[in-house]
Amino acid sequence: MALLRTAPVTAVGDLYALIRDKRAISRAEIGALTGMSRTAVAARVRELTARGLVVEQDQAPSSGGRPATLVSFNADAGIVLTAAIGGSRARLAVCDLAGDIRAAADIDEEPGFGPGDLMPTVAARLEALLDESGHRGTRIFGIGISLPGTVDAQRGCSLDSPVLTGWDGVPLAPYFAALGGARVVLGNDANAFALAEWRAGAGRGLDDVLVIKASTGLGAGIVAGGALQRGALGAAGEFGHDKTAAADGVPCRCGDVGCLEAVAGGWALVRALNDEGRTVRSLRDVVDLAHSGDALARRLIRESGRHVGEVLAGAVNLLNPAALVVAGDVAGAYDIFVAGLRETLYGNATALATRSLQIVPSHHGDRAGVIGTAMMVLDDVLAPGVVGAPV
């Protein structure tokens, strides 16, 4: 089969991006795809091999002559550390350069925790994971952190997070100084979920996907036209603070009233159940209660889905996604939640926008946050301009 030529590849970083995308490719195929001479290909492959970023060891199937050596992406050349921080739990992982999890751990959080309370524990637990996974001494390419709300990636801090009180403006990179000065990359949690599901999950192969993260708070990651959309200030997808008639007059923890989260967020469901004498601390507890047969917990989750579906109908009309992926802790009660969501989403969105819309559960489940955070940091630290910079 003929190979389609890619955009011109001249720099080492560009060639590495091609190998990383293909995972394994012969030198002849590189030349055919890029137009580079055999000498140029050999020189760049030699540099990447010397740096341990690629290896030449696999053999392509023989067509009768000498088997061609494949240039393969080396996922074991280093690691990235990730921390997906939510309102009630932080999920941590050590990942290889393909984004695959090598070791993971959770930290349960108390309500009202601040960065000074949690971040030293996160850093210490990541260090422990290096030992537990046998990666002590392995090169750390970067550290990724995903947070609910809007983040300031340049300053490395939360910009506006109703979920994490006291975090806004606090730089997080200094907490990881003991880990060798690796680059710290910050992003929004729903965007991390969207990366995981779009590239290697329920939305794989689609150019237009809406991923909702329903946990303590509500947020969405938007993939439109084959690209993750962050918005002018990085605040795209914060639909949890859209106003809804169902929350008219109800105070939200953001300080406003009438927000969707005030009746549909995990924290609102926890509050409602505690007011009725149940003892629950997080949305995960609410899901467990629903699965045990508690009628109130089941009703609250379904109503949450109804409220979310009503608000998301406008987004479905506006964006016309091919798939809506339900992620976050509420995915543990997917059938209950989606029963309510379908009712109002299909009742309020246009027939054309929902004609072929797929509503599906997260493929990665409770691992989506750390997987997507790994992808986020790898996109940064393995970008062509970074790999191609002088070493």
Q: Which CATH number belongs to the domain containing residue 143 in this structure?
A: 3.30.420.40
Residue 172 CA to residue 213 CA, distance in Å, equals 23
- The range of the structural domain enclosing residue 18 comes to 12-73
Residue 260 lies in a domain: yes
Q: Are 56 and 68 in contact (CB under 8 A)?
A: no
Predicted pLDDT at 60: 56
Same domain, 122 and 225: no
- Predicted confidence at residue 1, as pLDDT, reads 41
**Residue 144 is inside which H or E element, if any?**
strand 140-147
Do 226 and 295 fall into the same domain? yes
Best CA proximity match to 214, nearest among 240, 188, 196: 240
Looking at 43, 73, 103, the residue that finishes a domain is 73
Is the residue at 1 inside a domain?
no
Residue that terminates a domain, selected from 32, 52, 73: 73
The tokens 């023989």 sit on which residue? 62
Kindly state whether residue 376 falls inside one of the protein's structural domains: yes
Do 219 and 358 share a domain, yes or no?
yes
CB atoms inside a 10 Å sphere around CB 4: 7
Residue 3 lies in a domain: no
Q: Do 232 and 353 sit in the same domain of this protein?
A: yes
Please check whether residue 2 lies inside any domain of the structure.
no
Please indicate, yes or no, whether residues 356 and 209 belong to a single structural domain of this protein.
yes
CA atoms within 13 A on the CB side of 12: 19
Taking alpha carbons only, the member of 183, 132, 172 closest to residue 386 is 183
Which ranges of the chain have pLDDT less than 50? 1-2, 5, 7
User: Are 66 and 86 contained in the same domain?
Assistant: no
Q: Which of 73, 98, 122 is the last residue of a domain?
A: 73
| Closest listed residue to residue 384, CA positions, set 13, 45, 34 | 13
In contact, 99 and 197? CB cutoff 8 Å: no
The pLDDT score that the predictor gives to residue 325 is 98
Residues 187 and 218 in one domain: no
pLDDT, residue 181, reads 84
Residue 173 forms part of a structural domain: yes
Q: How far apart are CA 136 and CA 133, in angstroms?
A: 8
CATH number for the domain harbouring residue 51: 1.10.10.10
Same structural domain, 124 and 177: yes
For residue 311, being part of any structural domain is answered with yes
| Residue 180 and residue 212 in one domain | no
Q: Does residue 225 sit in the same domain as residue 344?
A: yes
Closest to 111 measured CA to CA, from 194, 216, 250, 232: 216
- On whether both 146 and 99 belong to a single domain, the answer is yes
pTM exceeds 0.95, yes or no: no
Considering the domain architecture, whether residues 153 and 233 belong to the same structural domain is answered as no
The count of structural domains within the chain is 3
Task: Decide: 271 and 286 in contact? Cβ < 8 Å.
Answer: no
